[in-house]
Amino acid sequence: LLTAPLPQERGGNNSFTHEALTLKYKLDNQFELVFVVGFQKILTLTYVDKLIDDVHKEFRDKYRNEFQQKGALGLLNGTFDFKDDFMRLLRDAEESSRVRAPTVMKTFEQSLKSQKTVKCMIETRGEKPKEKVKNKKNKGSKKEGTEVAAAPSKASGGDKQPSAAGEKEELTKDEILQKNREEFFRRHMKAGEKSRSPKPDAQKEKGKKPRVWDLGNSNAKVLDYSNSATNGSTEACPVEEFDPDMALGDKNREPGRLYDLEYESEDEAEEEKVVQNTSKPSAKKGGLGGMFGMLKGLVGSKSLTREDMDPVLEKMKDHLIAKNVAAEIAVQLCESVAKKLEGKVMGTFTTVTSTVKQALQEALVQILQPQRRVDMLRDVMDAQRHRRPYVVTFCGVNGVGKSTNLAKISFWLIENGFSVLIAACDTFRAGAVEQLRTHTRRLNALHPPESHGGRTMVQLYEKGYGKDAAGIAMEAISYGRCGARGAAVPHAAPPGPSWPFPVPPARNQGFDVVLVDTAGRMQDNAPLMTALAKLIAVNAPDLVLFVGEALVGNEAVDQLVKFNKALADHSMAQTPRLIDGIVLTKFDTIDDKVGAAISMTYITSKPIVFVGTGQTYCDLRSLNAKAVVAALMKA
Amino acid sequence: AGGLEPDLAALRQELSGPAALSVLIALVAVAVTFLIWRFVQGRRSSRKAVLLLGLCDAGKTLLFARLLSGRYRDTQTSITDSSATYRVSREKSTNVTLIDLPGHESLRLQFLERFKAAARAIVFVVDSVAFQREVKDVAEFLYQVLVDGTVLKNAPALLIACNKQDVTMAKSAKLIQQQLEKELNTLRVTRSAAPTTLDSSGGPAQLGKKGKDFDFSQLPMKVEFVECSARGSKGEDGDADLEGLEKWLVKVA
């Protein structure tokens, strides 16, 4: 829990599953505490959330002064004898979940239907019924209504009905009057029904609310139709709290901008006035309280609440999406930042906006920090020492720049004195092999064998078109290991001054690095993904690089997820080889819409190893996290 | 306009009197106070922090707890920093602020950024048992610390604490020193050969002397190696084996 979601900004929802356990956690940002409850995944305990809240409150109140005064020393030296309290709280929580009786179905008398229909049914001529009625339901309720209406009249007559049903008594005058009255009533009802049916239609026209289809800026409340007109109930419909001004649009919204569905229209002009905004509701109560709230916010003993942060976070989310970060990732990021900041006490003279921006910036830098070492040269040297080539595989969808960047990387490796074998495993696309051959020729022209002690630095291993890519890769790797005809030739001359690295004494004809170029494939194409997974599983390369272009937006998430899934599904090993690193290409085509970098690293938690910034051999860079985040946060 | 002139004349008369002198003295007092305040600020912000750095599970938090309280505590992976003042020895009344930073890869650089300016000394904790496996990661982190601009400028004293010596398989400090020197030797070449960063800010600073093999004595700061054990040879109830570390802290404070 501590090493995966919390530092990597995945702390949006507060539960985490690991093997057979589910962990629910809660952060206290004021005192920097984490409360974790673990239970078996198969159990569904309903009282866990309540338990965590109770424990949090009690612990905090009990040891509050230790945290506040003594800080870290308090944490170290204090004894936190909380076990008894915890057992008590646990018992309470368990009991409360058991005690709650199963909900009993309401009887007819209790339901709203019986209570309301009487009132509605009894109508006098000339009175307009207010409800919106449907004829069938109307009739049904009418029948019951007549019974019910008849019942009180009967009840007033006493137990006449059973007597009438039982014996044929002689009806008294009163009884006859009563009977007639009932008949009259019934007939009157039916007549009323007929006369009423056109009326409800007319009523329907008036009561019909104008549909608001404007997706932008409708208040979420207006779009929520679930409360109005519950089935069958003909109660007086609540007067709709419908403010046409609010629903039809913010006066100062940006025209043409497409908001997300869940966007709640807030005041646009609230950027610098967020502090005052929070004190506005309190200002309504009393001017003095509002002023203190504002001052409190300035001086810095105000703790952040969700309502304070929501408008700022919405804006930040839109900003991130505008910078080409995938939408779901922007949402998750903002959630995680909100969780981290909730309840935190702001420092002096800091506004909510600046605190949230700061937290978001730190979160983004954290995401871009590599989880594992990003040093290919070091690993190549290691492989050199073990007399085997370092194998790198490039995969990705069509047209992202795999072959171009492969050439750039081989140029870089040659500059550093390593010999490269390029394996042309793209046996499908026309011209793929010729492309690589041209690159090889050019690179050899730039770095002729004479300047490197007689070795050809780059060579191409190809078997034409239409063959099996995995087989070609395997042959290429074994060729790279022992070279032509498997002869081990000791290196004759001592290395010259251009050789930066200490060289092992005997050097075989093999190559230091093997770069495997594969065909581009869409992530949905199952047979091709299987083929790629087979290539990687069989050949076990040292590094699997996913090549993605920086222009991609939400697609990045889908591509990476599906590629990883395919690699995991089709490998037989216990720990399948997944994507180890990302090459971000076409970085020069985006100005500062660098969100794709964030999307890709967030999804895979693997580092961006190279960044391609052009089409010449020198256009290879490494990622600078701070610069990317600065470009991302820039307004 | 006529009214102003007599006022000005009156003002000039007043100023020429002893009032002028008092005004001047007041100004000088303010200036002196300002200067003193700046000086004190400068002194207060002088570095008084000792940072505990290292990889995950090196034992930093336990070391922190042992130094401060002397008792053993079960610790978890830190996700945030902890700081406290530590009284260096009984005779001198100097205090240093011990700061324990998390070792998690995503967090370590960020916290280092925050605290490096205040660092008077750095304790780099190394897990001597897992060193053989982790030597590349240890060297990489150490390289990042050493190459940092602020660290090179301030040159805080560096102690490499080889922790977990209570386990029999632990490597000795000498061996760790040799291996780290070799790794850093290759690292400084691979790092300078790496492709430049996007905004092509100046490449990483050169570590040590060119041409010669890397040696810790080539660094601008004092580097020492010490063996210690935060858990202690007698298990949880006994004391930790921190003599070398404590002596070094006395020297540094």
A234 touches chain B (CB under 8 A): no
Question: Cβ–Cβ of B198/A623 closer than 8 Å?
Answer: yes
pLDDT given at position B203:
52
pLDDT, mean of residues A26-36: 75
Instruction: Give me the sheet containing A21-28, strands edge to edge.
Output: A15-18, A21-28, A33-40
Q: Is A608 helix (H, G, I), strand (E, B) or coil?
A: strand
Question: Cβ–Cβ of A6/B189 closer than 8 Å?
Answer: no
pLDDT, mean of residues A296-323: 80
Task: Give the Cα separation of B120 and B96 in Å (integer).
Answer: 9
- Which residue from A371, A377, A416 is facing B105, i.e. has the nearest CB? A371
Nearest residue in A to B73, CA atom: A76
Percent share of chain A, pLDDT over 70: 61
Question: Cβ–Cβ of B193/A500 closer than 8 Å?
Answer: yes
Task: Give the Cα separation of A18 and A16 in Å (integer).
Answer: 7
- Asked whether A367 and A530 are in contact (CB, 8 A), the reply is no
Task: Give the Cα separation of A597 and A373 in Å (integer).
Answer: 18
Question: B105, B192, B212: which to substitute to probe chain A, counting the most A Cβ within 10 Å?
Answer: B105
Task: Give the Cα separation of A214 and A218 in Å (integer).
Answer: 6
pLDDT given at position A516:
92
pLDDT given at position A238:
46
Question: Cβ–Cβ of A627/B196 closer than 8 Å?
Answer: no
Question: A375, A418, A617, A628: which to substitute to probe chain B, counting the most B Cβ within 10 Å?
Answer: A375
CA–CA min distance A458, chain B (Å):
19
For A355, half-sphere exposure in the C-beta direction (CA atoms, 13 angstrom radius) is: 27
Please identify which residue in the block is written with the tokens 């180890």. Answer: A580
A632 touches chain B (CB under 8 A): no
* Strand (E) or helix (H) holding A394: strand A390-395
* Strand (E) or helix (H) holding A306: helix A306-322
Task: Give the Cα separation of A161 and A359 in Å (integer).
Answer: 77
The residue among A536, A539, A520 whose CA lies nearest residue A528 is A520
B4 touches chain A (CB under 8 A): no
> How many whole angstroms from its chain centre is CA A40?
25
Q: Is the pLDDT of residue A332 over 80?
A: yes
Q: Is the pLDDT of residue A151 over 50?
A: no
Q: Is A104 helix (H, G, I), strand (E, B) or coil?
A: coil
- Asked whether A532 and A566 are in contact (CB, 8 A), the reply is yes
User: For residue B221, what are its two tokens?
Assistant: 């700061």
Question: Cβ–Cβ of B193/A587 closer than 8 Å?
Answer: no
Q: Which residues contact B12 (CB under 8 A, 6 or more apart)?
A: none
CATH number of A376-484+506-624: 3.40.50.300
> Quick one: angle between helices A135-157 and A173-196, nearest 10?
170
Q: Is the pLDDT of residue A293 over 90?
A: no
A366-386 pLDDT, tens digit per residue, is: 888 877 777 888 888 888 888
CA–CA min distance B67, chain A (Å):
11
Please identify which residue in the block is written with the tokens 């040159």. Answer: B155
Q: Could you give the ipTM of this predicted complex?
A: 0.72
Percent share of chain B, pLDDT over 90: 1
Q: Is A310 helix (H, G, I), strand (E, B) or coil?
A: helix
Question: Cβ–Cβ of A500/B107 closer than 8 Å?
Answer: no
B85-113 pLDDT, tens digit per residue, is: 777 666 666 777 888 888 888 788 888 88
Kindly report the CA angle at A579 between A573 and A581, in degrees rounded to 5? 140
B207-210: Cβ within 8 A, 24+ apart: B207/B143, B207/B146, B207/B147, B208/B184
pLDDT, mean of residues A1-18: 66
CA–CA min distance B84, chain A (Å):
6
User: For residue A238, what are its two tokens?
Assistant: 């609540």
Q: Is the pLDDT of residue A79 over 60?
A: yes
Helices (H), A237-305: 244-248, 274-285, 287-299
A180-202 pLDDT, tens digit per residue, is: 777 777 776 655 445 444 444 44
Question: Cβ–Cβ of A76/B69 closer than 8 Å?
Answer: yes
Q: Which residues contact B82 (CB under 8 A, 6 or more apart)?
A: A72, A75, B61, B64, B99, B100
Q: Is the pLDDT of residue A224 over 60?
A: yes
The residue among A520, A547, A320 whose CA lies nearest residue A429 is A520
Which CATH fold topology does A15-97 show? Beta-Lactamase (3.30.450)
Q: Would you call A125 exposed, middle or buried from its count of C-beta atoms within 10 A (0-12, 13-18, 19+)?
A: exposed
CB atoms under 10 Å from CB of A118, counted, come to 14
Task: Tell me the whole-structure pTM to 2 decimals.
Answer: 0.66
DSSP state of A397: S
